[in-house]
Structure 1
Amino acid sequence: MDLTTTAYGTWSAGRFMHFGETLSEERFLSCIATAWDAGIRTYVTADVYGNGKADELLGQALADKSRDEYCLVGMVGHDFYEGQRQGAKGYPRFTDPELHQSSHYRDYLRKACEKSLERCRTDRFDLLMLHNPDETGYTSTAVWDGLRALKAEGLSERLGLAPGPANGFSLDIIDCIEKFGADIDWAMLILNPLEPWPSCHVLPVCEQHGVKVLTRVADYGGLFHGDMKKGHQFKPGDHRSYRAEGWVDHGLEKIEKMKPIAEKHGLSLIQFASIWNLSQPAVQSVVPTFIQEAGEGARQIEEQIKDFAATPDIRLSAEESETVRQIGDNTGCMMLKGASKRHSISERPDEWPMREDLLELAGRHGLGDNW
């Protein structure tokens, strides 16, 4: 089963990423049940979330469902089996030379895939994605040989690329698709009406190479769920509190300008954001973050899920889509991760020096040299 247009990710509900209230295990399971009852049939998990706990809970929630009735998307890439957590940096990638040499990549990927499948209570993924790769993950033939072997062995029907955890990696993604596109069925990109950049550079390449796109953060930190108001106060430790000051008020002002198009089509805000994403080339699926906001009067997370699941099968016109893009244009609003001229050495697994071959690639795609 290939991915459906609506998807549910196990990073929702605050248990494995700190957004809003941290829901109990029972409520976490209830959210997945709500998604199922509302008609969502694609579920996305990553082995590193809770060191496998998200996999286990998803497997528990779907245990009584026929395996042929849902699409299961897994992600592997962080080695929490042998690697040590490095504070806010998280666990190292399995391609860290202190953990594994290239000759061991295939064995690690098989082990990680099989353990994740066991926790999910199934024998195959419909899509397995390389999660938050470092520079080696984007460029190593040994990595993609290992992933291809998993597909050949029937452990996954499809393969994909899931960059992150922050935004960027545009040149790295394009280079990876040009090198290994024959093996890449899907890519997961950050995209929403308030963040058309930088994924706008990657979408045409995905379309050209037949790579389907699953978009995350369609909710833009919760703004498109419609529950946050100007001056919103975040709980201590909430990931969103680390964004630039004023981002909530600034985003809400732009959303007000977009509302006439949403209202014209009878769409809620999260439906509107999802439809805008799906109106872009190559985008075939959307997986927002569902957040139980703190404080009295906050809408229940289950209502967010139902709202998203009811997204109608329509698309915006090219003119409407471009109008929204212009309102939400965020070009240059942040430092991007991945290859950059800012770095002379690689000090973090998500940032590395720019290479001449990537600048040549940028030139071929008309992306300039300001990286």
Structure 2
Amino acid sequence: MKYMTVIYVLLSFFVYIIFCSVTYMIVTDIIEDKFNKKTNELTHSFGKEVLKQLSAVKLNNSVSKMDLDYIKEKLNKNEYVKVFNDVIIKFNENEENHLVTREYMIYFEEIILLKIKKVERKDDTIKSYMVFVLGEYRISNYEISEFLIRSLKTKSMYLRVASLKTVAKIGNLNTLLNAIKYLSKEDKYIHNKVFVDILSQFSGDKVLLNTSFMECFDELKEDFQKVIVENYTKNKVTYVKDQMLRLLKDSNTKKETKISIIRYFGSIKSQFAKDEMIKLLNKGEWEYRVVCAYALKNYKDEETTNALIESISDKNWHVRYNSATTLLKFNESYIISKVLEKNDKYSRDILFYVMFDNNEISYEEYLEKSRKVEVV
């Protein structure tokens, strides 16, 4: 009997938990439906007023204090905040409106700072939304910059990326540099491609940004140096060539950084860089030889061709492969003849393999030529 009582008590408890959970979900759905209905209604009234004020600012017309105070007064309610943010986000889809938004949002600076204080101790999900809308507001001041830097100090990769993206959107150079220095110092990882995309979104003076990177380059760890060089490569930044060449020649430059610089010069041509890449192709470590063999594809001349004809016999397969690929890109029949004259089976085999890989010969032709190489 005692056990039956315990069982009934436990069952009752589970039924109570299930009842509470179902009730919670129903109530939550009702509240959410009411909220969505209210925001839909406000879009056609309050939302139109916000858009009207933005349009006035865009046309350099003044907005009355009474109209601004009306918007400010409503922003203490969540449904109005939601509509306000939706209008701002939609307005910002046109890049030409970004400066207009920044000018307009200055009127709401005090409200923004109060909201930042409220979310400071909230969880990362709520912080992430605040960080996101700050990127849409596009205004910058000390308090906002400090909040964004503090938001980088998180275990959440999502919040970290969102914070850096917002810093870039706002376009404050010092804040972005401080953010990158902090991430580097603390080894806070962000994927290279994502990082480069974020740097491309910087809304400030990009020339000043790219030159400023070189001033703090040596302070940064290898992964972050790579990101900066990859940013230069992606955006075809030519005015840092001299600094990149200095780093390429410097024996103290870290390996992964130097590899990124070689790839940079694969896109941004420099005669001096070509000479350095040929030196590395001849005597550098195998990682450098691999990248140089491919980067030299944009330096078609006799000196480069001769260096690649030598490196196609390299003991490393990847160096041979990239050397053959580059030589074939030069599209000169005499080059193939020179490789065949070397009487080196590895050189000829990799040449035929790359030709097959590029669909220049069939698989059967590749096998036939390979057999002839073996016989020789």
Tell me which interval the TM-score lies in, with the shorter structure as reference length.
under 0.3
TM-score, normalising length from structure 1? 0.26
- Asked which structure has the greater CA Rg, the reply is 2
Bigger helix fraction: 2
TM-score, normalising length from structure 2? 0.25
Bigger strand fraction: 1
